[in-house]
Amino acid sequence: MKVFIYGTLKRKKILEEALGEKHGKTLTKAYLPGYKVVTVKADSDTWPSIQPGKDVITGDVIDVTVNEFDKLKRWEDHYMPHHVTTTKGEAMTFIFEQP
């Protein structure tokens, strides 16, 4: 399964914490047209998210197992998985949703 990551998950250390292991994953640069990056507030912190817009977001696509995807869903507890079309094909990504 492909996942488009942007924001804090692009940091190797954060991605390893989210997956619970040193992943050794290859990050492939990809673009997500038709969205824009926004800043959201949750639990007195601010976080990046995306929403439909006229921009093109730069991120990475990684291949993950179902188990790894489940770990990412738990890590991104204020974010919901969404299907998107990147320049590298179909992928899932996480978009912030107010609890």
The 10s digit of each residue's pLDDT in 15-54 is: 999 998 776 778 999 999 999 999 998 778 888 999 999 9
Domain 2-96 class in CATH: alpha beta
In single-letter form, the type of residue at position 7 comes to: G
Closest alpha carbon to 94 in 59, 67, 65: 59
DSSP bridge pairs for 43 = none
In single-letter form, the type of residue at position 58 comes to: T
pLDDT-derived band of residue 77, with 50, 70 and 90 as boundaries? confident
Tokens coding 65: 């197992």
**In the predicted model, what is the mean pLDDT of residues 74-97?**
95
pLDDT on residue 99:
62
**Burial (Cβ within 10 Å: 0-12, 13-18, ≥19) of residue 43:** exposed
Strand order in the sheet with 89-96: 28-42, 45-63, 2-5, 89-96, 79-86
